[in-house]
Amino acid sequence: MKIAIVTFAAYGAGVQYTAQLANALAAGNQVSVLLPADADTARFTKDVSLIKLPLPFNLMPAAFKALCPGFMSLFLKMLDGEKPDVVHLVFEHRFPFFYACKLRRSYPLVVTMHEPKAIPNRGWAANLLVAALQFINNSLLARCSDGILIHSENLKSTGLISNIPADKVHVVPIGNFSFLPKNPHYSEKTGKNVLFFGRIAPYKGLEYLIEAANMIKPSVPGLTITIAGEGDLSKYSKMIADQSFFAVLNRYIPDDESANLFQAADLVVLPYTDGTQTLLISLAGSFNKPAVVTDVGNFADTVEDGITGLVVPPRDAKALAEAMLKLLANDELRTSMGDNACRKMKGAKYSWDTIAADTMAIYNEAIASHAS
């Protein structure tokens, strides 16, 4: 089968996810990936054909350029040159729906909806506007597609997905993220280290982690809270000022440095106040690290409470502090949960070979649906 995967993501989790999926699908299929010209392509194998789109590296400029008729015309010409049997759009919120309207005339179309609902990330007025635009865009994408792929059963209850015919919606989890190489020369650090990793955004709940860290600091000598990721930290600057146990790397973190940060962590904390899913739980598991997460999106589906990590209510700094302290104070329990997380992520359910097989079945259904 000739498969065309399209992503406008140039770096980070978006392109990493696309690479793992494309690599797995390339075993027995002809796979092309259309992506920004300057995208990080280090994780793609030679079996995947890369088609470079003249898109800016950063998301917002790329999103605006994607709205231009001239770019759309060029994109469709490049896609037509691949003559795919099926087209797969990943990271749906970055695609204007009219792309799908054009594509459906010629190709069976599958859309991965990583975010079937808008995540509050701005002021209330902007949140309402973005939520309305995203709902409209994703609804029209769903109408134009032959198959919808989501990452968790509980996402079926979101307003958008619940309105789509059930036979059109397929659940395929995010696969394991064991591709980051561990540093064989890594030297053990002293003291306990908690890692908050990823782009800084209001819904990530960083303020609750900071509050929880201050609660447990007297009980954990040598504690370090590492905050690593790009984004606006101004909201939190006063909360972490003059507190030496916060280590802040406020920038994009490349893969080799990311690996060092996960190796140095005793546990990974995701104190989100909202969300759908994340690649970070899988990434933590690949480094044998347990995760303390809030009960949002599919987090509680991915983290088995008490087995591979701990799940706490969102916006509850006290519960978060108790969970962090429980693991930091018990090396045997923490190590056991980290090993459990690693075994789970290496299981068949999260294997990219399994995910590729499930995705191929979705493609075949989409091709049959499109033909009829």
Q: How do residues 317-332 score in pLDDT, each as one tens digit?
A: 999 999 999 999 999 9
Pair of tokens at residue 146:
């032959």
| pLDDT (mean) for 282-298 | 93
Classify residue 285: in a domain, yes or no: yes
Q: Are residues 159 and 201 in the same domain?
A: no
- What CATH number is attached to the domain comprising 273? 3.40.50.2000
Q: Are residues 160 and 201 in the same domain?
A: no
Q: Are residues 251 and 323 in the same domain?
A: yes
Structural domain count of the chain: 2
Name the more confident of 256 and 76.
76
Average pLDDT, the chain: 88
pLDDT, one tens digit per residue, over 28-66 is 999 999 999 998 898 999 999 999 999 887 777 777 787
pLDDT at site 188:
64
Classify residue 185: in a domain, yes or no: no
Q: Are residues 358 and 321 in the same domain?
A: no
Q: Are residues 129 and 223 in the same domain?
A: no
pLDDT at site 121:
67
Classify residue 179: in a domain, yes or no: no
pLDDT, one tens digit per residue, over 241-277 is 777 899 999 998 888 888 899 999 999 999 999 888 8
Q: Are residues 11 and 155 in the same domain?
A: yes
Name the more confident of 253 and 117.
253
State the residue range of the domain holding 42.
2-174+351-371
Q: Are residues 159 and 257 in the same domain?
A: no
Q: Are residues 226 and 321 in the same domain?
A: yes
Classify residue 182: in a domain, yes or no: no
Classify residue 186: in a domain, yes or no: no
93 has pLDDT over 60: no
Q: Are residues 209 and 340 in the same domain?
A: yes
Classify residue 187: in a domain, yes or no: no
pLDDT at site 185:
58
Give the pTM.
Answer: 0.87
Q: Are residues 245 and 320 in the same domain?
A: yes
223 has pLDDT over 60: yes
Q: Are residues 64 and 104 in the same domain?
A: yes
Q: Are residues 126 and 237 in the same domain?
A: no
Classify residue 183: in a domain, yes or no: no
